[in-house]
Structure 1
Amino acid sequence: MSYEILYGEVRKALKEVIPSEDEFYLEKPLLEEHGDVATTIAFKLAKKIKKNPLEIANEIYSKLIQIKEKYPLIKEIKVINGYINFYVNEKLFTKLVIEEILSKRKEYGKINLGNGKKVLIEHTNTNPNKAIHIGHSRNTCLGDSLSRILKFVNYNVYTLNYIDDTGSQMADIILGFTKLGFPLESQIRFDKYCGDHIYVKVNELYETNKELLVEKQKIIKEIDSQSTEIAEFTRNIARKVLYYQLQTCLRLGAYFDLINWESDIVRFNLLKRTLQILDEKRIITKETEEENKGCIVIKSKLIKGHEKETDQVIIRSDGSSTYLAKDIAYAFWKLGIIKDEFKYKFNKEYPIPCYETDIEGNEDIKFGGADLAISVIDVRQTRLQDVIKSIISLVGGEEMAKRYIHYKYELVALSNKAAKELGYHTESKIVHMSGRKGIYFNTDDVLDKLKEKIKQIVKKNNPEKDEKWVEEISEKVAVSALRYALLKLDNDKVLVFDFDETLRLEGDSGVYVLYSYVRTKGILRKVREFKIGNYEEYIPNDMEVKIIKKLAWFTEAVKIAAQNLQPQIIIIYIRDLCDLFNSYYEKYPVINSEEPARSFRIILVECVSQVLENAMNLVGMTPVEYL
């Protein structure tokens, strides 16, 4: 049972005594002694009728006391500093919460916030010239968790992976293959070969051979045309890199519905149509003098909050398009400003089978035209995203612009110790990544190191288990531990990854959460043959009531996480529930307690286990029964 049921009963009681009011703001008090629900209605009425809010609150209280018996979930009512505070009937509340969890199981916590509205979530978007590193993985885990949460509250969610196969970094790789003699085959995994070797080496060569930059520009223009052999070669290289990137995403537990190829923005004339709209709206201008002569630009004076900055080039003087031009077209497609002209095919050969845009596609499906478009992109792209949002506003109005969300997050760095464990030695306390300098830490390498450390613990604790079992458990724990580590901080904070912190057995870590869940499963395995008595005869103690209230709060946590697009709310909820449960387990026996306490406590452990599982699934953690 969610708190919304209790809120509903409180609202009905308030409406009965104040029929003139239609809305009652309710909140959960910060202090436990102030009850379970509080309303500010007295302050609202005080402004209307110019009367002391405490006096109004006492008058409302007097009326509520007279009808309280009609509302069995309300045990007590108090006036505290002008607030009217309600205390729940804990025995009835406990019964209802347990019944709902055990009847709904995996469905517990689901609510209908979305009403089936269409949401596009774009995440990962790693350039197809490298392996996915741990910074990209923060993006992947955020986007995937948002998708899981919004689906859980009845949004019709499609996840997109936008593949930039036409940009500057792709030109670096193609230059390496076509002009510098890098072989197409390598013993190294292809995404790592392109990123760790070719990309880094080509950028080093630019420093000593500036003519290579001229060759690079030629390649960029050829790719952009989408009508040459180089363009086709680039798409094939990008597809090969993407295959391995998707393997990493699959390992992280992330999935996609659609791969959008940036080159198809040009192929399917979305860019052409977008430029026509911008021209019709007089948003773009062709420069005839100074440094941008011959370029098509968006004047900075049109961009809200960036009026005094430099103008934005969208078409260069040589006719090639910038990232921004194609990103605007992509945003227009998402929101339905331009018609969905893409063709789609389903590619079952990818590690994550999904649709992709393709000139030969014939699937009867359309993805564009969403009610809400969320783009998970790091803070470095804030200015460009602001430009896109401003352009949407100029074309479709403020309301349409509100439907486009730049979901930004800070970067990921490594602690000095973590970097050393991955083979990079430096005196810096925190190591920031740089692709061009070759300083980055691939996600698979991080997961492999985590897994190696976890395997030692799993083997020690489970000597009777075979290697395959140990391998499977260690992989699940490694992925869950990494996802938790990448999600637990607020998005506006730089995340410093550390192996020891990630693998802590106590406190704020994924391993601690899994350990808590394993503890619930261990208890439940031991009581499989027990006959459950009438647990409703038992009167829960204070700590058990706290746990019941926390279980009931899960639906509210889901609601807040969905409304605010904050997976961290679920992470905090999971951690707090684990803390409560572990404190309880250390203080009160379950199996060795007397009836009816034993039956109640077994049921309580089952409820905790189920809610933990539901919550972990929302952030992509995989529950394991042994550790």
Structure 2
Amino acid sequence: MLKETIKSQLQQAVQQCWIDCGNDGECPYEVMLEQPAHEKHGEYATNAAMKLAKAFRKPPVAIAEMIKAKLEADGLIEGLIARVEVVPPGFLNLYLNWNEWMKRYGGAGGTVGYRAEGAKSSAHAKKVLIEHTSINPNKSAHIGHLRNSCIGDTLVRLLRKTGHQVEVHNYIDDLGNQLADTLVGIQQTNMQSRHRRFGDFCWDVYATINKQYAIDPELQHERTKVLHAIEAGDNNTAWLGSLVAERIVREHVEEMGSFGIDYDLLVWESSIVREGFWAKAFELLKQTEAFQQEQEGRLAGCWVLKQEETISGQESEHSQDKVLVRSNGILTYTAKDIAYHLWKFGLLKQDFSYKPFEAGLWTTATLDAAEAGRLEKPTSFGQADMVINVIDYRQEYPQLMVKQALQALGYEEQAEALHHVSYGVVSLSPKSASELGIDTSDGKASYAMSGRQGIGIKIKDLVSRVEQVIEASRPSKEGLSSRMIAIASIRYYLLRFNLQTEVVFDMDQATEISGNTGVYLLYAYARANRVLNKAAAEGAGKGENTFALPAIPELAPAEHSLLTHLSRWPETLALASKELSPNVLCQYAFELATRFSNFYAACPILKGEQELVTFRLWLTAQIKHTLGEALEILGLPTPEAM
């Protein structure tokens, strides 16, 4: 990678200066390489000289001059640096040799160099298992669920792009309170309103039964009965629960598929219990001092995982989370999650039975020997080297419990390889909340969605609304359908925020088509494609994939700005992969589209001397391919026209 190459050689130059000044051993300072805020200060800069002043006992400027001389003597980092500038009080500004960079990293036809570099950076990557979506199978999905899925799917695409082997799971909690409430609602309520989908019907049933719980608390005993029945299996209620859950999961999978989101495996919580995964995990945990059955107090009879540390201020709020088996014998969600993670890392020495759910998607299942023998066994699932769980910040404590259980069992390496990608929830702006009938007279900045109260924006309703806005506002119907543009717009809207940011959803903002939006990126890609097609038709560039590497002329400011940004694509990929942050890619793509717009306005691409036209067409091809890669990872289309 370009930045790492420069940093490594710079570190060697600093080390040599350290020795030349009479010091022994390794230089104690690790060189930091930054990207200057202003491009006139070069493509990279370092303050290493100022950090070394005390150790070298020399003025920072003098140290900077020593480092500069060393770099020049060594060939300015393999020819990649055109010049180095020392700036008081001791900065080193490095200016790239663009012709050398082009030969090394800017292959003919676009981004050949970028793809090779990305794969090379993760050649030793191990298997990564990503769990995301994991919606309770009791009603239709809403936009909060969609943020989870878009984040998870983008991480899947990102890690695959950077060379990792990735397996994608969707965990189905078919033994939990939410499904139990919906089953109680189906049995205890009389829903008469019309619904187009079963999930929408269950949405209203779920909200209705929770309102009845408030009126008649005794009705909640029915939930306990249902929970016992669906966990036991092989009874009327369990079969009803299975049918309801499967029907809704099929709707969820279909809906996510329209956003380009898919999975390798559906893991059902009931499989974990009925296939004996929890029983095996239970026996392992009983051998540790951390897992004990309480004999007295409010948790008497419960099996709990003793906590070495608690999250400050959250002990009372989350005290029940450390309970793995309640006194009535019902397992908590966390208990089953611990068993599931032992399996994810291949630590239970036991596997699920599997069957196809639909084309390309497998599901765990309880099969007899004859059924299992008739099915072709899928590619081995699990056995992960790294596990990533995409779950909102409210699940931080249970995620820490899973990690602690691994540590208690002596699996320190696996605990270290377990990562929780936490994110802020989606709430409603006052205007959006008001449109749903929520009382906003208290003047709050946002309003939480609540499935129990039936408050939220279903994904299908959001897509239809945004599609209508797109259809009414687009000047041309050429290229992508308004529905596809709407889906891309929604997906980008949910990805562009910092993960920890609470997304205050506002319908007006979600349907904007200018500024930092998915639509803006699609238009930029389509514009680059149109320019290249026109050039090919006119014979100006002889087709984008046949360009010889052009000589770089004296760069106009807009051209220099674009080249600088393009050169940072590999390190942006690496940073996003390391930090598991889709918004890093969003910011890069938006900045690239903005710089391309400036370039397009300032620099005639198809007019001028042939050498200049060839260079600008080559640059446009780089933009198209790099933006195309970013769109692909973000799960957005690459339209030929808009």
Match of 2:152 among 131, 143, 146: 143
Q: How far apart in 1 are the matches of 2:232 and 2:310? A: 29
What's the CA shift string for 1:37-95, capped at 9, x where partnerless?
33455456556555554433322323333343784322111233334332112343345
The within-5 A match list for 1:269-418 is: 269-301=276-308, 309=316, 310=319, 312-348=322-358, 353-360=360-367, 361=372, 362=375, 363-418=377-432
Match of 1:170 among 157, 162, 179: 179
**Does the C-alpha gap of structure 1 residues 524 and 384 become closer, same or farther in structure 2, counting only changes over 3 Å?**
same
**Does the C-alpha gap of structure 1 residues 218 and 591 become closer, same or farther in structure 2, counting only changes over 3 Å?**
same
TM-score using structure 1 length: 0.90
Q: How far apart in 2 are the matches of 1:598 and 1:308? A: 66
Query: Partner of 1:158: helix, strand, or coil?
Result: strand
What's the CA shift string for 1:353-402, capped at 9, x where partnerless?
31111122551433223111111111111222222222222223544322
- In the alignment, which residue of structure 1 is the partner of 2:207? 200
Structure 1 residue ranges without an equivalent (≥5):
none
> Is 87-96 or 256-265 further displaced after alignment?
87-96
TM-score using structure 2 length: 0.88
Matched, 1:558 2:548: no
Match of 1:444 among 439, 451, 460: 460
Query: Partner of 1:110: helix, strand, or coil?
Result: helix
**Does the C-alpha gap of structure 1 residues 298 and 345 become closer, same or farther in structure 2, counting only changes over 3 Å?**
same
Match of 2:516 among 499, 508, 517: 508
> Is 106-115 or 28-37 further displaced after alignment?
106-115
Matched, 1:454 2:470: yes
Q: How far apart in 2 are the matches of 1:447 and 1:397? A: 44
What is the CA-CA distance between 1:346 and the residue it aligns to?
2.5
- In the alignment, which residue of structure 1 is the partner of 2:587? 572
> Is 258-267 or 41-50 further displaced after alignment?
41-50
- In the alignment, which residue of structure 2 is the partner of 1:599? 614
Report if the CA contact (8 A) 1:300-1:308 is conserved.
no
> Is 291-300 or 216-225 further displaced after alignment?
291-300
> Is 427-436 or 268-277 further displaced after alignment?
427-436
Q: How far apart in 1 are the matches of 2:231 and 2:591? A: 51
Q: How far apart in 2 are the matches of 1:93 and 1:292? A: 65
Report if the CA contact (8 A) 1:266-1:272 is conserved.
yes
Identity of aligned residues (%): 31
Q: How far apart in 2 are the matches of 1:258 and 1:222? A: 26
**Does the C-alpha gap of structure 1 residues 100 and 339 become closer, same or farther in structure 2, counting only changes over 3 Å?**
farther
Query: Partner of 2:70: helix, strand, or coil?
Result: helix
> Is 532-541 or 597-606 further displaced after alignment?
532-541
Q: How far apart in 1 are the matches of 2:436 and 2:614? A: 49
> Is 617-626 or 124-133 further displaced after alignment?
617-626
What's the CA shift string for 1:495-551, capped at 9, x where partnerless?
012233233333211111112222212222322222338742633323212211211
Match of 1:86 among 94, 97, 109: 94
Match of 1:496 among 504, 521, 529: 504
> Is 104-113 or 437-446 further displaced after alignment?
104-113
**Does the C-alpha gap of structure 1 residues 209 and 313 become closer, same or farther in structure 2, counting only changes over 3 Å?**
same
Query: Partner of 1:406: helix, strand, or coil?
Result: strand
- In the alignment, which residue of structure 1 is the partner of 2:22? none
What is the CA-CA distance between 1:561 and the residue it aligns to?
0.2
Q: How far apart in 2 are the matches of 1:421 and 1:101? A: 50
Query: Partner of 2:516: helix, strand, or coil?
Result: coil
> Is 226-235 or 105-114 further displaced after alignment?
105-114
Query: Partner of 1:505: helix, strand, or coil?
Result: coil
Query: Partner of 2:75: helix, strand, or coil?
Result: helix
The within-5 A match list for 1:511-550 is: 511-529=519-537, 530-532=539-541, 535-536=550-551, 538-550=553-565
> Is 21-30 or 549-558 further displaced after alignment?
21-30
CA-based RMSD of the aligned residues comes to 2.9
- In the alignment, which residue of structure 2 is the partner of 1:153? 162
**Does the C-alpha gap of structure 1 residues 44 and 346 become closer, same or farther in structure 2, counting only changes over 3 Å?**
farther
**Does the C-alpha gap of structure 1 residues 397 and 43 become closer, same or farther in structure 2, counting only changes over 3 Å?**
farther
